[in-house]
Amino acid sequence: MGTKDDEYDYLFKVVLIGDSGVGKSNLLSRFTRNEFNLESKSTIGVEFATRSIQVDGKTIKAQIWDTAGQERYRAITSAYYRGAVGALLVYDIAKHLTYENVERWLRELRDHADQNIVIMLVGNKSDLRHLRAVPTDEARNFAERNNLSFIETSALDSTNVESAFHNILTEIYKIVSQKQIRDSPDDDNSPSSNVQTITVAPTDLKGQSKKQCCS
Amino acid sequence: MASLSSGSSRENKAGFWKKNSSVPGSIKPVYGAQHPPPQSNINMPSGRQIKKDEKAKHNKKDAFHEFENKTSDAWDDGDDDLIQMANLKLSLKDVHTSAKVVLDNHSKKANSLQKQQLEDNAASNNKGLNSPQSYNSNHHHPHHYHGGPGLGVRLNSGGYQPPKMTSIRYVTNTAPDREATKIDKFKALFAEPSLDLSDLRQLCWSGIPKAVRPTAWKILSGYLPTAADRRQETLERKRKEYFGYIDQYYETRYQDLHEETFRQIHIDIPRMNPLIPIFQQLVVQDIFERILYIWAIRHPASGYVQGINDLVTPFFVVFLSEYIENDIEVENCDLTELPQSTRDLIEADSFWCMSKLLDGIQDNYTFAQPGIQMKVNALRELIKRIDAPLFHHLERQGVEFLQFSFRWMNNLLMREIPLRCTIRLWDTYQSEINGFADFHLYVCAAFLKRFSEDALREQDFQGILMLLQNLPTLHWKDKEISELLAEAYKLKYMFADAPRHLLLKS
C-alpha cells in the first residue's frame, strides 16, 4: 500500500507469448525499463515486470508476464494465463516458422485463457528489413480474419513498442470501463483477485474495438 | 579414531605429492571399473520409498556422526560460523557483520601470505612436471600482474583488467597452508588403490580446492571409478565413446526428426552467458551445441529443454581450468589457444558429467516437468513449516511458489547466483547422495528463507515477485554459500530424516 506504485485505477494482467527467440523479453524490457539486450538470456518459466500508463486521465498499471517460448514449458506456463485480460502474441518477421506457429499459440490461448482475452498479433524485429520473411499484408490479413489487433515492432530500435502496449491496454480499458465492472483495486490488494474481477467484454463489442486498434 | 590413523597413513603415502602441491594440472589421470551410481538414501518429504537397509544405516546416531564429520571439516576451512549456524538459531545478519570483519582481516593476511609464497615458488620452482596434456607452465602468475605465458591468454591483452563482477574465479579465504593441506588430503585419497567414496564426499562437502576439483568432480559424479588404476582406461574409453556418438549422430541435426531440437539449442547457446567473453567464442559455442544435441537425442523422453544448457557450464569451466594457468581467469581465456586434443578432452568429460547429473533429475525435464512440480510443492510445504510469516505473506498477496521457484528448480539456482557460487554449491551437491534433486530442495528453502525479511517488507504482489526474481546475490562469494549450505543441512537433518514429521502435519 505504502508505495507510489500502488496508486492506480486499473490493474491489467497481460501475457507475452510466442516462439522462442522472437524477442518477447526485449519487448518487455524496452517497454518497462527502456532497455534492450542483443543477447538476453532465455526466459525460464515466467518473468514479470510492471509499468503504469495514463489513458483518459486514468492510471493503468500493466502487469506483464513474459513466458518461455519452448514447447516443453507449455504444460506449466499455461497456468500463467489465469486472470490475463490481454495477450501479445509475438512472432519474428524474419523467421517464417515463428509466424506459422501463431495458430498453435491461438489454440493454446483458446484452451487455457479467458475466452474474452484481448489478443494482439505482434510482428517483432521490423528493423530486419533485408531479412523479412513475413509480408506485413499477409500478417495483417491473418489478424483481421481472426479478430486480432496487429502491429509490427522493433524492440531494438524502439519502433512501435510503446504503441503496441498502449493500444492493447487502451483496448482493454475501453472494454472494461464500458462494462463498469467494479473497479476499485483499493478494496482488495490482491492482484490475482483484481484481475479476475475484470470480465472482458461481450463478443460484439470486442469485434468492434479490434478494428480501430490496428496500426 | 580409526579414521584419524588412516588419515595419517594417507599423508605418509602421499608424501611425494607435497613437492608438487602448488602446481596445478598435475593430477594423474585416473582409471577403472564403473562405480555403481549412488543410491538414494535421502527421503523426500513427499514420502519417497525408503529401502529398509538404507534406512537402518541412517538412523539418528549415524546421521549425527555424519553431521559431525561433515561439519568438522568446517574447522579446516576456518568457516567457524558454519557450525554455529547449524546448531544455533543465529540471525544470518548478525553472523554476516561479524564474519565480514573477520574474513576481511583474514583474507588480507592470506593474500599477503599467498603473494609471498608465490614469489618464493617462482624463485625456486622450475622442476618438471609438465604432463603432456596439462599445458600449464611452472611460472606462477599472481593475479593481474602480467600477461605471461601459458594458455590463459587474455582476450584483451592490453594490460591490466579489473576483475569483473561476474567473475567465475573461485575465491578462497583460507590461508595457503590450510589449502595446501587440504589439497594433499585429496591427492592422497585419489592415489588410494580403491578410494572410499564416502571419504571423498566427506572431504568435498565443505568445498573443494580449485586444483583438485576437476578430478574430484569426475569421481563424485560417478564418471570416473573409485579404483585408481582403472581411471585412465575409463577416461580413454568414455572419450572415445563420446566422439563415436558425434560421428554417428551429429550429422542428423538437420533431419526433420531432430531439426527442432537443434534449432532450439542453436537459439539458446549464443545467449547463455552474454557477459562472459569465453562464451562468445564460436569454438566454445560449438562444443556446447554438440554436447547438448547428443545428450538430447539420446534422451528422447525429455529431449533438450531450455535451462539444461546452463548445466553444462560449471563442468566446462571446471574442466577447462585443469588446462590453464592457475591464476588466469577462465572467462577471459581464448580456447583456440588450446590444442584440439585438449579441447576434445574437456568436451567429452563435460558431456559425461552433465549426463550423470541429468540422470538424477531427468523428471525435471520430461513432459509436464513432474520433477519440478513436485519440488515446487515440496518447497511450499517446507516454507509453510519453517517460515510461517513468509508463507502467509506470500499467500495473502497471491504469490504462487511456481512463479518464482520454477526457475530455481529448472536451472538449479544457476540464474540466481554468480557462476563461482554455483561451482562451490556443486561441490556439496555432488557430495550429497542425490544432491541435485533432494538436497537442492533444502538449499532452495534456505535460500528463500534468507530473503524472508526483504520479502516481508514488500507490501504487494509485484514488489514481492520483482524481488524474488531479481535477488541481490551479485556480490555473493563462498561465505554466503557456506551459510546457505549450513542452513540447508540443518533443514535436511530436521525433515529428510523424519519425513513423517513433514507429511503428517502439512
CA atoms within 13 A on the CB side of B198: 6
Q: Does residue A107 lie in a domain region?
A: yes
Query: Taking CA B283 as the corner, what is the angle to CA B278 and CA B285, rounded to the nearest 5 degrees?
Result: 70
Closest CB to A6: pick one of B270, B305, B460.
B460
Average pLDDT, chain B: 77
**Cα B270 vs. chain centroid, distance in angstroms?**
23
- Look at residue B218 in the predicted model and tell me its pLDDT: 97
Tens digits of residue pLDDT in B401-428: 999 999 999 999 999 999 999 999 999 9
From residue A153, alpha-carbon distances to A24, A90, A92 in Å are 11, 10, 10
Q: Is the pLDDT of residue B225 over 90?
A: yes
Residue with more model confidence, B490 or A38: B490
- Look at residue B22 in the predicted model and tell me its pLDDT: 38
From residue B335, alpha-carbon distances to A141, A167, B54, B118, B332 in Å are 49, 48, 45, 26, 9
CA-nearest of B340, B353, B289 to B133 is B340
Q: Is B117 on the interface with A (CB under 8 A)?
A: no
Rounded Cα distance between B246 and B251, Å, is 8
Find chain A residues with C-beta within 8 A of B406's C-beta: 44-46, 76
Q: What is the mean pLDDT of residues B188-194?
A: 95
Find chain A residues with C-beta within 8 A of B371's C-beta: none
Rounded Cα distance between B374 and B378, Å, is 6
CATH number of the domain to which A49 belongs: 3.40.50.300
Rounded Cα distance between B427 and B408, Å, is 18
- Look at residue B402 in the predicted model and tell me its pLDDT: 94
Q: Within 10 Å of residue B244's Cβ, how many Cβ atoms?
A: 10
Per-residue pLDDT of chain A (215 residues; tens, 9 = 90+): 444 556 899 999 999 999 999 999 999 999 999 999 988 899 999 999 999 999 999 999 999 999 998 888 877 777 789 899 999 999 999 999 999 999 999 999 999 999 999 999 999 999 999 999 999 999 999 999 999 999 999 999 999 999 999 999 999 999 998 875 554 554 444 444 444 444 444 444 343 444 444 43
- Coil, helix or strand at residue B151: coil
Q: Does residue A48 lie in a domain region?
A: yes
- Of all residues in chain A, the one with the smallest CA distance to B461 is A191
Find chain A residues with C-beta within 8 A of B458's C-beta: none
Q: Is B171 on the interface with A (CB under 8 A)?
A: no
Closest CB to A70: pick one of B306, B406, B460.
B306
- Model confidence at B239, in pLDDT bands (50, 70, 90)? very high
Closest CB to A42: pick one of B268, B369, B397.
B268
Residue with more model confidence, A76 or B353: B353
- Look at residue B289 in the predicted model and tell me its pLDDT: 97
Shortest distance, CA A179 to any CA of chain B (angstroms): 25
- Model confidence at B63, in pLDDT bands (50, 70, 90)? low
CA-nearest of A214, A157, A155 to A31 is A155
Q: Is the pLDDT of residue B170 over 60?
A: no
Q: How are the residues of chain B apportioned to helix, strand and coil, as percentages rounded to the nearest 5?
A: 65, 0, 35
- Look at residue A151 in the predicted model and tell me its pLDDT: 98
Closest CB to A70: pick one of B264, B396, B466.
B264
Mutate: best of A14, A42, A97, A98, partner B, most B CBs <10 A? A42
Rounded Cα distance between B272 and B196, Å, is 37
Closest CB to B271: pick one of A5, A41, A48.
A41
Rounded Cα distance between A97 and B166, Å, is 35
- Please give the DSSP secondary-structure letter assigned to residue A40: P
Q: Which of B39-53, B249-263, B333-347, B461-475 has the lowest mean pLDDT?
A: B39-53
Rounded Cα distance between B8 and B19, Å, is 17
Given a contact cutoff of 8 angstroms between Cβ atoms, the answer to whether A148 and A214 are in contact is: no
- Look at residue B106 in the predicted model and tell me its pLDDT: 61
- Of all residues in chain B, the one with the smallest CA distance to A7 is B460
- Model confidence at B325, in pLDDT bands (50, 70, 90)? confident
- Of all residues in chain A, the one with the smallest CA distance to B266 is A21
- Model confidence at B176, in pLDDT bands (50, 70, 90)? confident
Q: What is the largest CA-CA distance in chain B?
A: 67
Q: Which residues are CB-neighbours of A5 under 8 A, at least 6 positions away?
A: A50, A52, A61, B460, B462, B463
- Coil, helix or strand at residue A90: strand
Q: Does residue A49 lie in a domain region?
A: yes
Q: What is the mean pLDDT of residues B129-138?
A: 39
Find chain B residues with C-beta within 8 A of A46's C-beta: 403, 406
From residue B410, alpha-carbon distances to B57, B290, B323 in Å are 31, 21, 30
Find chain B residues with C-beta within 8 A of A49's C-beta: 466
Q: Is the pLDDT of residue B102 over 90?
A: no
Cβ separation of B460 and A72 shorter than 8 Å?
no
Q: Does residue A196 lie in a domain region?
A: no
Q: Which residues are CB-neighbours of B331 under 8 A, at least 6 positions away?
A: B164, B166, B167, B168, B276, B277, B278
Q: Please name the helix (run of DSSP H) or strand (run of DSSP E) that holds residue A47, with its range, or none.
A: strand A46-55
From residue B332, alpha-carbon distances to A129, A140, B112, B198, B335 in Å are 35, 47, 25, 36, 9
Rounded Cα distance between B133 and B25, Å, is 9
- Look at residue A39 in the predicted model and tell me its pLDDT: 81
Q: Is the pLDDT of residue B244 over 60?
A: yes
Domain limits for position A30: 8-182
Given a contact cutoff of 8 angstroms between Cβ atoms, the answer to whether B397 and B432 are in contact is: no
- Look at residue A76 in the predicted model and tell me its pLDDT: 77
Q: Which of A169-183, B114-128, B130-144 has the lowest mean pLDDT?
A: B130-144
Q: Which of B168-182, B224-238, B323-337 has the lowest mean pLDDT?
A: B168-182
Q: Does residue A205 lie in a domain region?
A: no
Tens digits of residue pLDDT in B271-287: 998 888 999 999 999 99
Find chain A residues with C-beta within 8 A of B463's C-beta: 3, 5
Query: What value of ipTM does the predicted structure carry?
Result: 0.82
- Coil, helix or strand at residue A13: strand
Q: Does residue A47 lie in a domain region?
A: yes
Q: Which of A107-111, A114-118, B102-106, B196-200 has the lowest mean pLDDT?
A: B102-106
Q: Does residue A204 lie in a domain region?
A: no
E-assigned strand segments in B109-239? none
How many domains does the structure of chain A reveal? 1
Closest CB to A76: pick one of B267, B270, B368.
B368
- Look at residue A75 in the predicted model and tell me its pLDDT: 76
Residues forming beta bridges with residue A65, ordered by sequence position:
A15, A48
Q: At what angle do helices B80-87 and B478-495 cross, to 10 degrees?
A: 30
Rounded Cα distance between B203 and B27, Å, is 17
Mutate: best of B166, B260, B262, B264, partner A, most A CBs <10 A? B264
Residue with more model confidence, B118 or B344: B344
- Look at residue A72 in the predicted model and tell me its pLDDT: 81
Q: Is the pLDDT of residue B166 over 80?
A: no
Find chain B residues with C-beta within 8 A of A193's C-beta: 398
Ordered alpha helix ranges (H), B152-230:
176-191, 197-204, 213-220
pTM of the model: 0.73
| Cell 544457476 -> residue | B414
- Coil, helix or strand at residue B463: helix
- Look at residue B130 in the predicted model and tell me its pLDDT: 39
- Model confidence at B311, in pLDDT bands (50, 70, 90)? very high
Residue with more model confidence, A60 or B105: A60
Rounded Cα distance between A110 and A103, Å, is 11
Cβ separation of B463 and A5 shorter than 8 Å?
yes
Q: Does residue A46 lie in a domain region?
A: yes
- Model confidence at B15, in pLDDT bands (50, 70, 90)? very low
Number of CB pairs, chain A paired with chain B, less than 8 A apart: 96
Rounded Cα distance between B189 and B198, Å, is 11
Residue with more model confidence, A198 or B305: B305
Closest CB to A45: pick one of B365, B398, B407.
B407
Q: Is the pLDDT of residue B55 over 80?
A: no
Find chain B residues with C-beta within 8 A of A1's C-beta: 459-460
